[in-house]
Amino acid sequence: MAKLDRYKISPRMVGRTALVTGGASGIGRATVERLAYEGANVVIADLQTALAQELRVELKAQGCEHISVASCDVSDEEQIVAAVELTKRTYGGLDILVNVAGVSSPSRQTATEMDLQEFRRVLSVNLEGSFLFIRQALPLMVDKRFGRIVNVTSTAAVMTSDRTTPAYSSSKAAIAGLTRQLVYAYSRFGITSNSVCPGHIKTPLSLRLGEESLRARERTIPVGRIGDPEDVAAAIAFLSSDEASFITGQMLVIDGGQTTVINYGESHGE
C-alpha cells in the first residue's frame, strides 16, 4: 500500500464513480487502490466478498471514504444488474467501468482436448461478463454524456504460446474486438472504450508458478522483470481520466516489450 501514497496528490478522479470487476485481488485490486487514491468513488464487484471488504477497510483507513462492495459473480446477469444498480443508488451514476474479472482453465489443453462445456465456461466469465457489465453501464454513461470503459484482455489476444488455451485466447481476442466495436455507436456521447493487454504480471495466480518458473519468464522480457499489478493500474487510470478523452478503440500492450521480440534462445548480442 505504501508504494501508492504518491497518488494521493493527483486528485484527477474526484467526482467520478468507478466500478471495477474482479477488484479484490491482483490487477483489479491495484486498480481499485489507484482510482481511490486519485479521488474516485469506487465499487468493488467481486465474488471474493471477504477480500473485497478487507480492501475497503484498508482504503478507508488510508482516507479513501467512498468505497463500496458488491458481491458479484460476473457470469450471473442478475448479480451484474444488482451491482450496477448499487453503484447508481449509492453514487448517482457510473462514469468508469473497468472489466478485470476473468478465469482460465485449470490445465493447458489443446483444441481437441478441451470439451465444449469448459470452452463455454471461460467465455461466459471473460467475454459475456464483460459484455453484460458494459450493456448495463452504457445507459448511465449516455445520460451523463461521459464514460470510460477499460477492458483488461491479455497478450494472449495478440500472440500464442504453450501456456494458454483455446478458450482463454479466444475470449481475450473477442474482448478486444468488443472494445473496438463500441467506438462507432458511443463516441458521440463522450464515451471512450479501450483495452489493456497485460503480459506476465505478479498476480496471485502467477506467483503460484514458483520462483524458478518466474525467473524463466523474466528472461524473455526485455525490461528484465515481471510486471507489477500497479503497472497495469497506472495505464487503466490514465485511460479512465479526462486526459485520455481523444483515445478510444485502442489496445495498449503492457508487457515490458515481450511481444516486440522473438527469443531464439541464448542472446549473443545484436
**Structure-block grid coordinates of residue 143:** 445520460
Catalytic residue among 7, 168, 184, 186: 168
Which one, of 34, 43, 40, lies nearest residue 1 by Cα?
34
User: Cβ(135)–Cβ(149) under 8 Å?
Assistant: no
Helices (H) and strands (E) in the chain, counts: 9, 7
Quote the cell numbers at residue 128. 459475456
Alpha helices, DSSP H, located in 200-258? 204-207, 211-218, 229-240
Scored b (16 or more CB within 10 A) or e, 222-243 reads eeeebbebbbbbbbbbbbbbee
Q: Is residue 91 annotated as part of the catalytic site, yes or no?
A: no
As annotated, the active-site residues are: 168
